[in-house]
Structure 1
Amino acid sequence: MSGRLLRLVCTAAVAAQAVLAAAPATAVPKPDPVTADRPVAELLTDLQRLYREAEKATETYNATEERLKRQRAEVTRLDGELARARLSLHDSRGAAGRLARQQYQNSTDISPYVRLLLARDPQQALDQGHVIGRLARGRAETVGRLTGTERRADELARKARRALDRQLTLAADRGKQRDDVTGRLDDVEELLASLTSEQLTALADFEKQDIDRAQQEVMSAPGAPSTSLEPTRAGDAALRYAVQQIGKPYEWGAEGPGTYDCSGLTSQAWASAGTSIPRTSQEQWAQLPHIPLSELRPGDLVIYHPDATHVALYLGEGMIVHAPRTGERVTVAPIASLPILGAVTPQGQRP
């Protein structure tokens, strides 16, 4: 990590500590007989499971929200096309009406063939016949345009209705998924509220021991994360954005600027660097180029859990910047804070 970036991290960390110090103290939970005698390891397993379920539900919600945004844009586009088609249909019907009136007004005219036989100047009559032919072709084109525009308007109307139905379905799905996230977070709060301050302290200590052990294993294994590779210019910009968010609260579904969830932080960090990446951790894992941990550069993304439900930015020297979970803040942590699935890079062509 460069000296400038290290100073930036330290400054942000100090600011975050000041924010935490200013926060009001939480009430000490009352002991729950159900959890009072449970082993710390068992409590930690349950708590981590609940956090994972909440994060998975959050990423599902985020994915639906992105699809809903795209569907709204599609509905708007189709509505615009339909409005233009209806205007064109109105013009075509007006032209067809004028044609019908002309045909009615000229219905008593003698035929061009008889006019040719009776003409004093046959050549002039032939020239008039060419004009009449062009008029006839123009009338045929007017009728053709009317028919084609009617078909186009009908098809666009059907597409617009289907797109709107899809939008309504996605909106309903998003509502159910929002309720799912809320319910799972309620389960987390219920478990935490049942623990004593001593149990909470023991949980934190036990989790730290697990992370320290996992970090040592990851950093000493063959193909360990790089501690020396430099970021690209875009990677450096994305990482600086993420570091500047240290201390801001985690909030599920949030993309900043005041709060973030894990993939909200990574997607906005890279957007600030001029690179658009997918919104959710699962899409980032599915769509961005995979790289081995040994090729990690600062700014690359580390994906966690078998179902790719958490993501962080690699800071360098075996550390990450991420928005951990509900109740916590954007922070710097060891890369092995969670079970690593793999790494991806938005940094384009790599030397």
Structure 2
Amino acid sequence: MNRRRCATAAITVVCALTVLASPALTLSAAAAPFPPAPPAAPAAPAGPKKTLEEVRKEIDALYRQAAVATDAYNLAEEQTKEQSEEIVKLARMIVAGREKIDRLKAQAGAAARAQYRNGGLPDGAQFVLTDDPQLFLDNAGRLQQGQKATKDLLSEMSQVQAELTSYAKDAGTNWTKLEANRVKQAEAKKDIDGKIAAARKLESELEAEELERLRHLEQQEQYRAQTAWLGTGVLKGLDGKATARGKQAVEFATAQIGKPYVWGAEGPGSYDCSGLTQSAWGAAGRAIPRTSQEQWRLLPRVDIKDMRPGDLIVYYQDASHIGMYIGDGAMVHAPRPGRNVTIAGAGSMEILGVVRPE
């Protein structure tokens, strides 16, 4: 009996499912469809494809912006090093000052204990009370000397305390600058990475043949600028000879040819533009600033007609690039990311001016 009831229930369920799936219900549901989707908006017309020359200019602009950010990064890094060294120096001075204060306090304490033992009178004061005139005069002089020594001791303690206060204030100021420069470094690094990534993205979208043509366009532009520069007759007036240090700097810089450009690098395996010039002159025994902008700002300037091998040529109005003149209208430089240290025409880029490290 129970089996019949179960069978009957099962048949009922199957029938219900069959009815739900019947064509009549399907047609009924289809009689009230959802509102039709609106027609898709027409695709925006694609803009005109950029020419390879436009792409070249865009990539060049991005790398130049990265060079400016690299200078900002290098300057912040240099200042961070200086401030770190200054903080360490001040910390040592504070330690030495505190040790000196401790010694002075010990001397003052010994003098105070001696006065206490003598009833509040300093050593020698007891002898002033003698009836012997000569002994009185001798001991009076010693008493004056003791009083002066005590006064000098207190004055020295006061001076050292003031110095400690000044050192601590300077250390705090340098720490604030240090933190600010770390922020500048982080911001500059982000900017550099962003510009280089954008330039590389543009390059990655080009076919191998287009990349080859792009490099050819770069060379053509450099050749055009160099030819125009030479056309001014600039080399006719260039007869300056390199000094001994200048020769050393040129030899070092040209020995780095083929090594890759890496922003922020100072060698020995890779360089950025100012890292190369700084290292070259450092090898010649002359310390110069770290960035191209600081080299332009702080080194003595010379007229192009007086240029000689070893001098540094600064490029673009923002002084964002620098190379070393090696003679015969050529210079050696670290061009940009994706390129190696190489020799190029000294006039192949827009010249801002020339500086001389010596």
Give the TM-score category using the shorter length: 0.7 to 0.9
Which residue of the partner structure matches residue 89 of structure 2? 77
Residue-by-residue CA offset, 1:185-220 (whole Å, 9 max, x unaligned): 111111111222232222222222222221111001
Residue 222 (structure 2) aligns with: 211
2:100 to 77, 80, 88: 88
1:65 to 74, 77, 86: 77
Distance 1:296 1:113 in 2: 78
Q: Tell me whether 1:128 sits opposite 2:128 in the alignment.
A: no
**Corresponding letter in the other structure for 2:194:** G
* Equivalent AA in structure 2 for residue 214 of structure 1: A
The 1:225/1:52 distance shift into structure 2, 3 A limit, reads farther
How high is the sequence identity, in percent, across the aligned residues? 35
Aligned amino acid, residue 334 of structure 1: G
Aligned amino acid, residue 263 of structure 1: S
Contact kept in structure 2, 1:322 and 1:330, CA below 8 Å = yes
Gap runs ≥5 in structure 2? 1-44
1:145 maps to 156
Q: Identify the match of residue 331 of structure 2 among 320, 334, 341.
A: 320
Q: What is the aligned partner in structure 1 of residue 207 from structure 2? A: 196
Q: Which letter maps to 1:141?
A: D
Q: Which moved more, 1:120-129 or 1:184-193?
A: 120-129
Q: CA deviation at 1:35?
A: 9.5
Task: Specify the code of the residue in structure 2 equivalent to 1:172.
Answer: V
Q: Does 1:155 align with 2:154?
A: no
In the alignment, residue 172 of structure 2 is paired with which amino acid? R
Given candidates 224, 248, 252, the residue that maps to 1:241 is 252
Please provide the CA RMSD for this pair. 2.5
Looking at structure 1, the residues matched to 321 and 147 of structure 2 have their Cα atoms a distance apart, in angstroms, of: 69
- The answer to whether residue 185 in structure 2 is matched with residue 177 in structure 1 is no
**Residue in structure 2 matching 1:293, options 304, 315, 320:** 304
| Deviations 1:46-94 (CA, angstroms, capped at 9, x unpaired) | 0110010011111111111111121122112211211111111111111
* 2:345 counterpart residue number: 334
> Alpha carbons of 1:139 and 1:304: their partners in 2 closer, same or farther (altered >3 Å)?
same
CA contact (8 A) 2:125 2:139 kept: no
Q: Aligned runs of 1:214-233 on 2, under 5 Å? A: 214-224=225-235, 228-233=239-244
Match for residue 44 of structure 1?
A: 56
TM-score by length of 2: 0.81
User: Which residue of 2 is the match for residue 283 of structure 1?
Assistant: 294
Query: Which structure has the bigger radius of gyration?
Result: 2
Question: How far did 1:171 drift?
Answer: 2.0
Q: Is the contact made by 2:69 and 2:192 (CA closer than 8 Å) also made in structure 1?
A: yes
Amino acid at match of 2:63: Y
TM-score (norm 1): 0.82
Is the aligned partner of 1:255 residue 2:270? no
Contact 2:238 2:306 in 1 (8 A): no
Check whether the contact 1:51–1:188 (CA below 8 A) recurs between aligned residues.
yes
- Provide the secondary structure at the position in 2 that maps to 1:337: coil
* C-alpha distance 53-109 of structure 1, shift in aligned 2 (>3 A): closer
Residue 347 of structure 2 aligns to a residue in which SS?
helix
How many pairs are equivalent?
A: 314
Measured at CA, do residues 103 and 115 of structure 1 come closer, stay the same or move farther in structure 2, by a change above 3 Å? closer
Farther-moved stretch of structure 1 (253-262 vs 209-218): 209-218
Deviation at 1:336, TM superposition (A): 2.6
Q: CA deviation at 1:315?
A: 2.0
Q: After alignment, is 327-336 or 142-151 more displaced?
A: 142-151
Cα gap change, 1:151 to 1:292, in 2 (>3 Å) = closer
In structure 2, the residue matched to 1:107 is 119
Give the distance between the partners of 1:56 and 1:329, measured in 2 at CA: 19
Structure 2 residue identity aligned to 1:261? D
| Residues 225 and 295 in structure 1, CA contact (< 8 A), matched pair in contact too | no
Distance change (3 Å), C-alpha of 1:309 and 1:113: closer
Q: Deviations over 1:227-253 (max 9, x none)?
A: 654311111111111111010011000
- Cα gap change, 1:129 to 1:241, in 2 (>3 Å): same
Q: Classify the secondary structure of the residue corresponding to 2:326.
A: strand
AA at the equivalent of 1:88: K
CA distance in 2: counterparts of 1:35 and 1:233, whole angstroms = 58
CA contact (8 A) 1:228 1:317 kept: no
- 1:59 maps to amino acid: D
How much does 1:169 deviate?
A: 2.0
For structure 1, which segment, 59-68 or 165-174, has the greater mean C-alpha deviation from structure 2 after superposition? Answer: 165-174
